[in-house]
């Protein structure tokens, strides 16, 4: 515990990517847990509308070490929830250098500043959907071989190794959370990523959604509020460990389509298009280690989470 003004708080937490879809929910959850929060985001995909007014905001690109250092000097974070990243599988195939610059070099800037400025813990958002590649068995646990099929997955995994090195050599504590397919309010409905947001927006507008491939691709869909809660738990637990997050259940794209039709009242059928290069066909994650060590389990069912998402998009 420490004092800030007239109230007790738990930690000073810097949330990178905190104006983005998942990062803004993480910032909200940290504030809800009593932490003092600062957000770093370059607003390349994040939105000021997602920012919590109780958090400090710094518009900074994590590749800009000098600007980032000024944030560290001013805020003096005790912990970091690191979610800032380029995160589109298909874009990474076309722009692998950009993904290395932002996801690897940008993360190294954070690690170096954390080391120099005395930050004690980093919670790192990795990806369970992209680091493992095409699964050899399901559900995938943390011991599964790492065989990413795209530069996005490769860039996210590289940083996991650097985190281990910084703990061994500099005593910087960390927890890695490998995310499943995350959906919910604030997800961008206009990008290529986030099929739930894209389809919800199209269905509510009466437009015909596109289904890539057969639609039998399976993913582990997890509500964003559950993912945010895991980040808060990891601030104090899971030292030096890697955890999958997810439901342990694979849901096909066709099943999601059917559930969203029901939730939105949409009457049409989707149009099938060719499958996308670099995408895993089926992946879902064993999160039993997170349950054991972090006390984390998903609480929001897919049907309920989709209902909340549709309600959100009806209002915006």
**Would you tell me how many other CB atoms lie within 10 Å of the CB of residue 254?**
15
Alpha-carbon dihedral angle through residues 82, 83, 88, 91, given to the nearest 10 degrees: -50
Query: What distance in Å separates the CA atoms of residue 36 and residue 180, rounded to the nearest whole number?
Result: 27
Residues 287, 244 contacting (CB under 8 angstroms): yes
In the DSSP assignment, the letter for residue 46 is -
Residues with Cβ < 8 Å from 197, sequence gap 6 or more? 183, 187, 188, 189, 309, 313
Query: What distance in Å separates the CA atoms of residue 177 and residue 160, rounded to the nearest whole number?
Result: 10
Could you tell me the maximum CA-CA distance found in the chain, to the nearest angstrom?
A: 59
To the query of whether residue 152 is one of the catalytic residues in this protein, the response is yes
Point out the catalytic residue in the list 152, 166, 183, 243. Answer: 152
Residue positions annotated with a catalytic role: 152
């Amino acid at each position: 515990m420490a004092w800030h003004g007239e109230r007790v708080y738990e930690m000073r937490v810097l949330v990178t990517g905190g104006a983005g879809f998942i990062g803004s929910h993480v910032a909200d959850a940290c504030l809800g847990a009593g932490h003092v929060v600062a957000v770093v985001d370059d607003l390349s995909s994040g939105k000021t509308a997602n920012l919590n007014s109780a958090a400090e905001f710094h518009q900074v690109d994590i590749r800009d070490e000098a600007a980032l250092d000024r944030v560290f000097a001013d805020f003096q974070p005790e912990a970091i929830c690191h979610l800032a990243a380029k995160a589109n599988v298909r874009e990474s195939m076309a722009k692998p250098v950009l993904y290395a610059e932002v996801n690897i070099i940008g993360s190294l800037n954070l690690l170096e500043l954390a080391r120099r400025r005395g930050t004690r813990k980093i919670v790192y958002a990795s990806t369970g959907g992209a680091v493992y590649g095409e699964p050899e068995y399901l559900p995938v646990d943390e011991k599964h071989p790492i065989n990413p099929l795209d530069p996005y997955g490769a860039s996210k995994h590289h940083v996991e190794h650097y985190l281990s090195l910084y703990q061994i050599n500099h005593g910087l504590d960390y927890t890695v959370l490998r995310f499943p397919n995350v959906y919910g309010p604030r997800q961008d409905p206009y990008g290529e990523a986030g099929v739930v947001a894209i389809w919800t927006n199209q269905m509510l507008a009466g437009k015909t959604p596109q289904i890539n491939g057969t639609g039998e691709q399976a993913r582990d869909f997890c509500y964003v509020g559950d993912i945010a809660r895991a980040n808060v738990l990891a601030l104090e637990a899971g030292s030096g460990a890697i955890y999958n997050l997810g439901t342990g259940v694979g849901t096909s794209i066709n099943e999601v389509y059917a559930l969203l039709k029901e939730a939105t009242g949409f009457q049409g059928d989707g149009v099938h298009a060719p499958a996308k290069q670099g995408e895993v066909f089926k992946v879902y994650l064993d999160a039993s280690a997170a349950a054991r060590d972090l006390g984390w389990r998903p609480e929001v069912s897919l049907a309920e989470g989709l209902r909340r998402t549709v309600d959100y998009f009806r209002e915006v």
